[in-house]
Structure 1
């Protein structure tokens, strides 16, 4: 049963603890250390220390403490044997002015394996120090309020970024652009919930201004619009983070494997004049114009009695189904000789390629051919005359129903530049520019929690005139879902809003 008093309703809000969001290992009173730079031989390696015994660690290895945030060249020795291990830079970051919010230090040493091993062993001999677990420095930064969960995820994405566009998106998220949007929504939602709770508990005492619920209705509608617009981003940020699924599809011997080899600039797939050479899916990761792509070459789509080829065709159709973008390759030499028949032929051919898997033979992929979800590649342009090519271009240009197409010769490379330009333009449309406009969703976790928040706000409208307590529960659920995105939620924040806005008891 739902409670209507403020104290009891506030108790219904669950505070999301750090320990439940992130599985911390060990105690936060421990002092941790680890190699923070890459493994292997390098010019300089960075060993990081964080925790209450950081000062002891620095003094034990260097017999002194440098000024805060000033790099000093020091002799680094084992604290027990006093054997010299290296000479390097030592930096001291007293808390809370550090990445983790704790006392921290860094040893910038030479990157030889023996030097790194010696320094790590020396730190392990200092009382109160232990090796850090994976991601533990960042966990402590989150615990100290230095980062919210979206910024933590942005930091992880930055570390794993492989392309320029991924780097830009990760930097923007790590800087807090995405978190600030969610924080703004939380502030607005807290105010709405505080006003509704106050109306439930104190309206009979005439301490609440007239029209307060009307203001809440307006604010909730605006929040719903903002959230739904944010969700309707066509998964641009998620595509950019994980990579765009690009599938090369078409009939047998159309030149699909040749196109894969041309784009990857290596013999990634076997090319043969024998039809049906490709039986399985061949995948290659590429960086195309700064956008990450998972490029897949698939089996030629045709009816076959060969069991292995049938399985290859089935897998090919599944990949087409899941693709963000299809490169549909067509053999120019097989086009009808009558130019007037070209638009209809190509449209029917596209439907045969982009149809659903054999499990649903009568179901066509629910995408408009006007959308940029495929590129038609007319291959083997070197095998037709220039006059024939001009007639094809003229026919396609005259027909409003003709799909956009790129002429290409995988044999000579003619047309590759135009194809790459079209491909990069489409990738930019699918992923967006990470530096322009509002930041996009980057995690499935964000999308799931935002959808739950939207559903909860719809619950508020559903029960608004029937039961205000149930309507308030919708606001609480929405606020909880938003808080789980950033990792910040607590009932005391709503209490603060009530006292600030209404000065109850004055």
Structure 2
């Protein structure tokens, strides 16, 4: 019984740490344009805070009583001039059943710049209201316990998603897929810490089982295994979120810039018959089958020996492979080993050898090239469907292998800080397991602190234990009105 009491007491303390950390001015009501700024059919202005009802009464008139979560077509008036600003839909969301957990409302008005400006001016004239800062609505939702920090970051990723796979991953995270995984570990660590502290406090006085430590160490090993499996994801979630960085490299004048232009279907790089036109790295983000790819066109790599890594002149490729009597894979490996120190970072990466300018080959040369495995054949001068499609299919398959498919059952790590905190969590648990032995390490209370440190690592991910510097990083990319 004492054991359970200890666990409940610890859990309550941990929850209390979360919501006493509020930086939001709870006595202040905020407003902002939540939809995109510019001419459009409809714009949405959001209000949140304790004076939301007063703002509604001021702009609509005291005679209007709105039901929660109903849409009303109303005339909206300026509080000073009493002139009608616009006629639009108004929705009232009393707290805590709102996005922020506070009293909130939305004005859905016509999207002209004049109407938006007049509405914002009118709200600014209502006492107790001020303009929201970037991400302040979401920050209030976080401090109000409506969402945790992983869901906040998932929402930010959803706003910035540019491809279908990014949208799926961000949607799953904003809906709590990662939260459920981390909260499960958090609750189990709380239980382990509570059991240990109960054992420390009451083992000599109460009927506490002698094998309680044995059971909790077994549970801790299970948690370590689960976290390690979660970490062993080949960084798929981070790669999908940030884009797969792909360098187009090779000797001068093999068509790297033409290849980039063909893939992106627009003139990104300068193309001339003069070797060495590209001096700097040119980057371009492209959507391949729902996966984001950041292409980098590099300056040509000039070498005294075999000059091929990613893109090669098809005729030169045939000549070099024939001369050295080796496979395309061996040829590529030799080339990588002869690159300078920075380029050696490519070793172990996924590399695809592409033979360009096949339109210049004779039928005999084309037949020889077809016999070489693991080489994709293209021409940027005449990019017909039957030539380009095999490359696109192969590349999309490769991206799917690299990024994986976002699922609710196996959510991926999307931020480096999650990975760092999970690795630290494992370290603290390991220290506890290695140090805790009553006959060797008599100070059980000090050893128990390692479990609390492991728990804090998980709580820093979800925001149960937070700090201003982490929150500043999380909310800095949010737009005004969200």
TM-score by length of 1: 0.83
Partner residue, 1:411: 381
Change beyond 3 A, Cα 1:383–1:208 = same
Contact residue 246 and residue 327 of structure 1 kept, 8 A:
no
1:450 to 398, 422, 427: 422
d(CA) in 2 for partners of 1:112, 1:187: 50
Equivalent residue of 2:173, what SS?
Answer: helix
Render the CA deviation track for 1:229-264: whole Å, top value 9, x for unaligned.
111111111111111101101111221111001101
Q: Does 1:46 align with 2:44?
A: yes
Contact residue 260 and residue 297 of structure 2 kept, 8 A:
yes
d(CA) in 2 for partners of 1:224, 1:299: 46
Partner residue, 2:132: 132
Query: What's the RMSD between the two structures over aligned residues?
Result: 2.8
d(CA) in 1 for partners of 2:294, 2:71: 43
Partner residue, 1:31: 29
Alpha-carbon shift at residue 358 of structure 1 (Å): 3.2
Partner residue, 1:312: none
d(CA) in 2 for partners of 1:160, 1:417: 29
Change beyond 3 A, Cα 1:453–1:159 = same
Alpha-carbon shift at residue 352 of structure 1 (Å): 5.3
d(CA) in 2 for partners of 1:176, 1:167: 14
Render the CA deviation track for 1:116-145: whole Å, top value 9, x for unaligned.
111111111111111111111111111111
Alignment of structure 1 residues 192-341 onto 2, 5 Å = 192-303=192-303, 328-337=310-319
d(CA) in 1 for partners of 2:183, 2:396: 34
d(CA) in 1 for partners of 2:84, 2:168: 42
Render the CA deviation track for 1:318-359: whole Å, top value 9, x for unaligned.
xxxxxxxx9811211113459766772634542355459734
TM-score by length of 2: 0.87
Change beyond 3 A, Cα 1:177–1:343 = farther
Alpha-carbon shift at residue 448 of structure 1 (Å): 1.2
Render the CA deviation track for 1:91-111: whole Å, top value 9, x for unaligned.
111111111111111111111
d(CA) in 1 for partners of 2:459, 2:339: 40
Q: Does 1:167 align with 2:206?
A: no
Partner residue, 1:142: 142
Equivalent residue of 1:76, what SS?
Answer: strand
Contact residue 254 and residue 331 of structure 1 kept, 8 A:
yes
Partner residue, 1:78: 78
Change beyond 3 A, Cα 1:159–1:412 = same
1:375 to 352, 360, 364: 352
Render the CA deviation track for 1:53-102: whole Å, top value 9, x for unaligned.
10010011111231111001111001232111111111111111111111
Contact residue 309 and residue 332 of structure 2 kept, 8 A:
no
Contact residue 31 and residue 47 of structure 2 kept, 8 A:
yes
d(CA) in 2 for partners of 1:437, 1:266: 39
Equivalent residue of 2:280, what SS?
Answer: coil
Partner residue, 1:502: none
Contact residue 282 and residue 296 of structure 1 kept, 8 A:
yes
Alpha-carbon shift at residue 436 of structure 1 (Å): 6.5
Render the CA deviation track for 1:14-36: whole Å, top value 9, x for unaligned.
9755686x8x46x1210111111
d(CA) in 2 for partners of 1:13, 1:477: 12
Change beyond 3 A, Cα 1:125–1:364 = closer
Contact residue 44 and residue 110 of structure 1 kept, 8 A:
yes
Equivalent residue of 2:406, what SS?
Answer: coil
Contact residue 14 and residue 464 of structure 2 kept, 8 A:
no
Contact residue 251 and residue 302 of structure 1 kept, 8 A:
yes
Equivalent residue of 1:335, what SS?
Answer: helix
Equivalent residue of 1:283, what SS?
Answer: strand
d(CA) in 1 for partners of 2:309, 2:319: 24
d(CA) in 2 for partners of 1:107, 1:225: 50
Equivalent residue of 1:205, what SS?
Answer: coil
Alignment of structure 1 residues 325-474 onto 2, 5 Å = 328-337=310-319, 344=326, 346-351=328-333, 353-355=335-337, 358-359=340-341, 365-367=346-348, 373-394=350-371, 396-397=372-373, 404-414=374-384, 415-435=387-407, 437-465=409-437, 466-467=440-441, 468-474=444-450
Render the CA deviation track for 1:410-437: whole Å, top value 9, x for unaligned.
1111521111111111111111111364
The unaligned stretches of length 5 or more in structure 2 are: 1-5, 467-482
d(CA) in 1 for partners of 2:138, 2:330: 54
Partner residue, 2:474: none
Alpha-carbon shift at residue 385 of structure 1 (Å): 2.3
Higher relative contact order (CA 8 A, sep 6+): 2
